[in-house]
Structures are given as structure tokens and as C-alpha cells.
Amino acid sequence: MLDVAVSELTSPGSDLSQEITWLAASGVEAISLWRPKVTDLGAAVVARLVGSAGLRVSSLQWAGGFTGGDGRSFAESIDDALEAIGVAAVVAAPCLVIHSGCRGGHTRSHAGRLLVQAIEALAPAASQAGVALALKPVHPLASSGCSFLTGLRETLDLVEQFDDAAVRLSLDLWHFGHEAECHGLLPRLARASAVVQVADRCGPPAADGDRLPLGHGSLPLESLVTGLVDHGYRGRFEFDPVGEAVEILGYEGVWRETRFTTEAWADRHATRLSMVPAGFEGERLATSRGHFRAASATGVRRSHASSHTGSPG
């Protein structure tokens, strides 16, 4: 089975303590936390609840908006992000998702400089806290008012430019899974990504588009996910469908489908690897087996603040 995490953005109206209890009972190993809910309970309380349930935190969402498009100054956004890094450290989140914010009246080049300045200011604190800053690009068709960082390749270039373990990528396959270059970028994406979000869709991405459960859309998610694993990605896959399909299926139905689908992916992946002659499999593919755990062997496993009301991605 994949290293699966569930995002709280799927169930924004649910109580965090109830979510933690249900996820632990369902066999999901990790949760992506949403800052407003963490603020409501307090980071230390959330850390105890997560730990007691045997869960791990895959990421904390989100900080950013360094261009002033949301009405905050650059300094205020930096202070908020520093606070978020501290919260991520308390709840043991390995990464904090970072959104650039919209252009906010700036030229594209100046907005880019503001983002670079913000990362330079935050990276030392993130490194000291053991938290990666995961920059999240948003597809241009879905980025209106929320992000000027709209290219997958340009974000990869930016992350690689820093050459810093504290500066990584948040890869959302809902945004870019349809693009032909995505498969070609898999080796770089596997190295650069701190976390991968997964949801399906029909048609092009849109700001108000539903994030469908696995198999309810047309994205080549199985090949992308297994390709990332084959190229060495060892982080969590966060499943975060949002929209009418989730309301119809219900949260338990969505996660039941997700578990069955990812187990089927794991089985097919293991079968493909077993058919490759041992002398030609290579260390990379051999190692990738460890990121999938057979369903039969797992059973049930236990293993912003402020005004942010949701993720703009």
C-alpha cells in the first residue's frame, strides 16, 4: 500500500479530534493539517491527539501570500510564515506548504523577487526547525487571485536553484497530471517533492473545479504515482478530493474507495516488478518495492492561524 495521507481540506466542516479518531480506526497513517483547525485546538493539543492516535502529520497547510494580494504587508506575511513553521515543528509536520500569492499589482518579475526574498528569509528558520518549505505551483487556469507561480517546470527550476534541503516542492497532480511533460519530469519531481497531492478530475483544471476521488476522472494518476515511486520519491501521497462527489459518497465512502484503489495500484506495481528479470531490475526499482505495502500484510494500521480560510490551491 502507498504511504497514504488524508487532507483535512476534504472535510472542512468536521471536527479535528473526530477526524483523527476516524482516520486512526480506518487504517490511514497520516493526516495533512489545516492551520485554522490547528489554531482552534492549539498546536500542542493537536500534537498529543495525533500522537495518541498513532498517526503522523504529512504536511501543514499553508503559508505565503508574499505579494500583498491578500491585504497583508510583506513583513506580516513573513511573520505569519515564521509562526506557521513553529506550528509545523510542534505537530511534527515534515513540510509547510507555501503559496506564492497572486501578483498583487506587481510585475511578474517583481512578484518573483518577493517570493525569492521570502524563501531566503524563511529557509534558515525552517531548516533549524526541521521543516521543509514546499512551494506549490497552481495551474494557470485555476490560479486566478491566488498564485502567480503557475508553471511546474519554473517551480522546479526555482527549487533546484536554491539547492537547499529546506526548500522543496509541493506537487499537486490535480493541477498538472494531464500535462505531457509531467511524465518526462518525473525524475526531477521525485527528487524535489516534499509532498504530493492526489485528486482526479474531468476536463481542464478550473478555480471552482471539483477535486474528484480516484477513478472518478481521467487523469493518469496510477502511472504518475508509481512513476514517482520508481524514481525514488519516498514522501507521502495526500489524497484530497473536494466537491459534490465527496458529498454523495460521504467521507467514509471516499476513503474506502481510496484505500481499495491504492491497494490495487500496489498489487499491479508489485506484479510488474516481479516480471522484470532480476539482473535488469536495478537498484531503483528494487528499492521502490518498499514504498508499497501489500494490502494483505497491513490490516488496520495505527502507526493559518489568522484569517486563512482555505487553501487557494
The predicted pLDDT at position 291 comes to: 62
Residue scoring higher pLDDT (262 or 26): 262
> Which pTM does this prediction carry?
0.90
Of 40-54, 73-87, 233-247, 262-276, the range with the lowest mean pLDDT is 262-276
Residue 299 reports pLDDT greater than 70? no
The predicted pLDDT at position 152 comes to: 96
**Interval 141-147 mean pLDDT:** 88
- Fold (CATH) for 4-298: TIM Barrel (3.20.20)
Give the CA distances from residue 140 to residues 31, 195, 197, in Å, rounded to whole numbers and listed in that order. Answer: 27, 21, 17
Residue scoring higher pLDDT (138 or 295): 138
**Residue 22: closest CA among 239, 251, 260, 197:** 251
Distance CA 33, CA 15 (A): 12
Q: How many CB atoms lie within 10 A of CB 273?
A: 16
Q: Are the C-beta atoms of residues 106 and 118 closer than 8 Å to each other?
A: no
Residue 254 reports pLDDT greater than 50? yes
Strands 30-34 and 167-172: unpaired
pLDDT band of 310, cuts 50, 70, 90? very low
Distance CA 185, CA 156 (A): 9
Positive or negative: CA dihedral 196, 93, 311, 136: negative
DSSP E strands in the chain: the ranges are 4-7, 30-34, 56-64, 95-99, 132-135, 167-172, 193-198, 237-239
Of 217-221, 261-265, 282-286, the range with the lowest mean pLDDT is 282-286
Give the CA distances from residue 79 to residues 62, 65, 73, 98, in Å, rounded to whole numbers and listed in that order. Answer: 13, 12, 10, 14
The predicted pLDDT at position 1 comes to: 52
For 22-72, write each residue's pLDDT tens digit.
888 888 889 999 999 999 999 999 999 999 999 999 999 999 999 988 889
Q: Which residues are within 8 A (CB) of 246 and not within 5 positions of it... i.e. 6 or more apart?
A: 10, 213, 254
